[in-house]
Structure 1
Amino acid sequence: MTGPQPAVRLRGGGVSVATCAHLLAQDGFCLAGAAVEPRAPVPVIMLSDPALALLRDIFGRPSLFAALPRIERRVVSWGGSVSAPLPHGAAVVTGAQIEAELGLPALPAGFPPAASEAPAPFTIHGAPPFPEPALRRFGTREAVAAPVTLRAGADHATCHVEATPKGWLFLIPQGADAAWLLGVGCSPEALLAQSRLIAPLIDTLGPAGARFETAPRLLDQVAGPDWIACGTAAIAFDPICGDGTAQAAREAILAAAVLAAIRDGGDRDALLGHYRAMLIAAMRRHLQVSLPFYRSGGDTPWWREQADALAQGHAWCTGQLARVPEPRFLLRGNRLFAREAAA
């Protein structure tokens, strides 16, 4: 292209905004940063091998997170049965490590001077406040993360997931003897009192740390005429699926492709509508995958309430998608093409 490139302001951080910045910078966009309140990084993430491969490909860094502790197996106690160890490839990454490795490059604060004929600036919102802040939640289940030390002989390359009557536990080893325990639905202490699989693996339980909502959630409006929302503040998956980081990267690829298509003369309203429809479709798939876990995890009021919320969310997503046209665009690589042109 010739002439001035559009300016894009980036608000927030995390995988999705960093991925947007990387892809847009490669595509010639003028980027600018905007200050936001820093969010507390999540204590630890299990970054699955497919998500890791996707990030390495996007950023062109084959050794990204290669030196971190690895999870090679998982053991699951769910609905009264305990699985044998199953293969599970993932790197154990802290939120601080993600910010350090994938954080935004140094960007000017505010927009750079632009010629009068330059296109109007666009904003990518990766943090609140959003232009349209209404958030739809599919359940309510707070999680609490606590550091733990493992008993001698515990397998440091195996994660454990366990359902109890009051919620579920997720034990993630992080190196030699340290690990993180995630308690969903109730305090880690109360869940451990009902635990048969994970409790015997823990030597000491540290003080509760970060508290955060784990139920899936989605902004009612994820885009407007001059903005797009992305990242976990805009759409978030339940950690039970282990796909949250990959989803953040995928939605960033789509957001960057939408901006590039608008810049290249595409139908702005149709492209932004496509973005919203694809995020709703992603949430619908996630709810469909998650629902069997909550239906089979237990038969207490807590489990039934969470399963009902997921089912209602799935029905809402289905209704929303029924009101929009069939997808008009196809994503190939980092570009969106009209379906008739891509056929």
Structure 2
Amino acid sequence: MTSIAIRGSGIAASGCAHILTGAGLRVAIEDIRRPSVPTIMLSDPALGLIRGVFDRPDLFADRPRVKRRVVAWGGPPVVVPHGAALASEEEVQAALPVVGQSGAGAGDFTIHTAPPLPLGDMRLFGERHAVAARVRLRDPACGDEARIEAVAGGWLYLVPAQAGAGWLLGVGGTIEALLGQSALIAPVVDAVGAVSTPFLAAPRLHLPLQDADWLACGTVALGFDPICGDGTAQSVREAILAAAVVTAIAEGGDRAALLGHYQSMLIAAMRRHLLLCAQFYANGGKGDWWCAQHEALMEGHRHCTALLARMPEPRFLLDGFRLAPRQAAA
């Protein structure tokens, strides 16, 4: 196996291509794009992962920074330190180096970072959607802080943009309805832009995540609830693991064992995410909407636990961008 086809674009596709090219494999990228996200908050851990993959220690160093979060979640507001850079998805895509050949082509193996996948279905853990709107910030102090607030009908997340503007994410209802219940965010914003069409905000997992000649990577494999702020970092982690699995297969490793390891690691990541989200939704509110979302998350956690119980114990450990047998690594 010497040639790899990558379908898609974004951080997962770019990361896979960069690592695999560095490992000496031929890569062809079929650039498949979806509507871009207006702003991404790149946490310092996510920035560290991206800079490490692309060997760019100064990447996004010139972007506006978020220095703190103000959180009102089932209690009075709390201010906590936070470090993150702000960029649009288009800016992120433009900053990442492009490697490999362009255009669709048959490879010995395919990494899918965009739909459709060859087989399987996506399972949702909840029934919630989000909408986003551009807003004007009334308070200049909001220019370097993020605000998150739980209200009776859902939750709101405000991040700054540029020139006194910001982006407001609403989950569980319309922006207007959620702002009508808000004490933390409503006083500091004025809506000035059109509201986006609703998009999925519930965690989701596609199964299967792999077959003999392909695997899924990035948000097409699994999607996180935006409440965690870890979606970008997760896509980078998936790219590192996917590239390590493909490299090991190309070097003669046990294909079935390596692909099974990849699937179990992603299911385990989703299981951890579901439990983390469940803690937020248990404390955000007491109404029917909050209770239903919490129960869906816990049901998903039980589902992933049952899946992992039927899978072998992990046989490999990541060592940089490579996989090592667990016994040897120990």
TM-score category (smaller protein): over 0.9
Q: Tell me how far 1:206 sits from its aligned partner.
A: 1.9
Query: 2:94 aligned to 89, 100, 106, which one?
Result: 100
1:250 pairs with 2:231:
no
207-216 vs 231-240, which moves further: 207-216
CA distance in 1, matches of 2:104, 2:164: 45
Describe the superposition over 1:237-285 as per-residue Cα deviations: whole angstroms up to 9, x where unpaired: 1111111111100111000000111111111001000000000000011
2:134 matches 1:138? no
Contact 1:173-1:179 at 8 Å conserved across structures: yes
Relative to structure 1, the CA distance from residue 104 to residue 143 in structure 2 (aligned partners, 3 Å threshold; closer, same or farther) is: farther
- 1:72, 1:90 within 8 Å by CA — same for their partners in 2? yes
2: distance between equivalents of 1:259 and 1:273? 12
Superposition deviation, residue 104 in structure 1: 3.9
Deviation at 1:210, TM superposition (A): 4.7
Q: Of residues 18, 26, 36 in structure 1, which corresponds to 2:14?
A: 18
User: Which structure 1 residue ranges, 5 or more long, are not aligned?
Assistant: 113-119
Root mean square deviation of aligned Cα = 1.5
Q: How does 1:228-247 map to 2 (within 5 A)?
A: 228-247=215-234
Aligned runs of 1:1-343 on 2, under 5 Å? Answer: 6-36=2-32, 38-83=33-78, 85-102=79-96, 104-105=98-99, 107-111=101-105, 121-343=108-330
| Secondary structure at the counterpart of residue 302 of structure 2 | helix
**Structure 2 unaligned spans of 5+:** none
The residue identity in structure 1 corresponding to 2:44 is D
**After alignment, is 233-242 or 102-111 more displaced?**
102-111
Once residues 110 and 159 of structure 1 are traced to their aligned partners in structure 2, the CA distance between those partners, rounded to angstroms, is 40
Superimposed CA distance per residue, residues 214-258 of structure 1 (whole angstroms, 9 cap, x where no aligned partner): 111010111110001011121111111111111100111000000
Contact 1:154 1:201 in 2 (8 A): no
Runs of 4+ in structure 1 over 3 Å off: 103-106
Q: Does the 8 Å CA contact 2:151/2:181 hold for their aligned counterparts?
A: yes
User: Does structure 2 conserve the Cα–Cα contact (< 8 Å) formed by 1:42 and 1:210?
Assistant: no
**TM-score of the superposed pair, with normalisation by structure 1:** 0.93
- How many aligned residue pairs are there? 330
After superposition, the C-alpha distances for 1:197-219 in whole angstroms (9 at most, x for unaligned) are 00000133421025321111010
Counterpart secondary structure, 1:89? strand
The answer (yes or no) to whether the contact 2:282–2:294 under 8 Å persists in 1 is yes
